[in-house]
Homo-oligomer: A and B are copies of this chain.
């Protein structure tokens, strides 16, 4: 018997997944949950073998959740169900500690297969992503993931502050006034940021900010 927890912020998907799985022998749905805050409590009180985790975005917040769960409950395998099939998403979730990934093309059979694959101690990734491709990337990204994940953390708080203001359509002058520094300093900050992140245009900086959740769209 495999004990399973299901997390999905989408109530209906949660109900659906729960119903799908509860009819399967050898599986027991230990809990279902649709809020991040509840999830941690439920994990604490329910020992499960596997957590089904639905992801609808690739935000730092969502990834952090995986990291926390993976660290605090190393025995619980995390299986990601995602509407987004991007390579970025897959790599990030795996890097964060997920043991499996089901893309949007995956169906019920794939889910079952994934669950049992994980139970048997192996990883499971959507067929659409060949293992070869994956392994190649994972090897490369094991250490030098600096590029993506830690890019944000390479920015100092001051620098993030500047990007935030600027991302809210403030002019350099307005930012300068707000922070009691010279316009030239604001420019300097931006220059340093662009250099550090290796960005070519301000458009890229906006995208970076949005990607890293420091600019609201």
Contact = CB atoms under 8 A, between A and B. Distances in A.
Interface residues of A, number: 39
Interface stretch (A65-73, A106-114, A129-137): A106-114
Interface string A133-148: 0000000000000000
A189 interface: no
Q: In the assembly, how many copies of this chain are there?
A: 2
Nearest to A16: B16
Contacts of A56: 56, 83
Interface string A74-98: 0000000101000000000000000
Contacts of A19: 16, 19-20
Given A12-B111, A34-B104, A56-B83, 14 more contacts: A9-B104, A11-B104, A11-B105, A12-B17, A12-B102, A12-B104, A12-B106, A12-B108, A16-B20, A167-B203, A202-B203, A203-B206, A210-B210, A211-B217
